[in-house]
Every structure is written in C-alpha cells, then in structure tokens.
Amino acid sequence: MPGSFLVRTAHDVNPGRNFVRLAFVADVNDARRAHSASSIFAARSQADFL
C-alpha cells in the first residue's frame, strides 16, 4: 500500500510519499523471500525511471 494513503498531509507535505507499507504475515523464511523479491522488483522499477 502506498505510504501516502496512510498519513495526513500537513503544510502541503505528505510524509508517507515515496514509501510503501508491507505487512509480512508468513513465517520468517517466506518473509525473507518476499523481501528479496520486492527489493529486486523495486530496483528494476527504479532503473526504468533513470
């Protein structure tokens, strides 16, 4: 979920902007795999904007 959805904008600043909220509800090994996969996805997505 985009972090900007979770906070209130104050003085035209949204402190959640450019953040993503993730909730891991699996065991530790599944959480590690999910973190690795999401990190790879984020790196690739960021490379698309450069």
Annotated domain spans of the chain: 3-49
Quickly count: other Cβ atoms within 10 Å of residue 18's Cβ. Answer: 9
pTM value > 0.95 = no
pLDDT in tens, the chain (50 residues): 666 777 788 899 888 888 777 776 789 999 899 889 988 888 887 766 55
Nearest to 3 by CA among 13, 33, 18: 18
Would you call 19 helix, strand, or coil by DSSP? coil
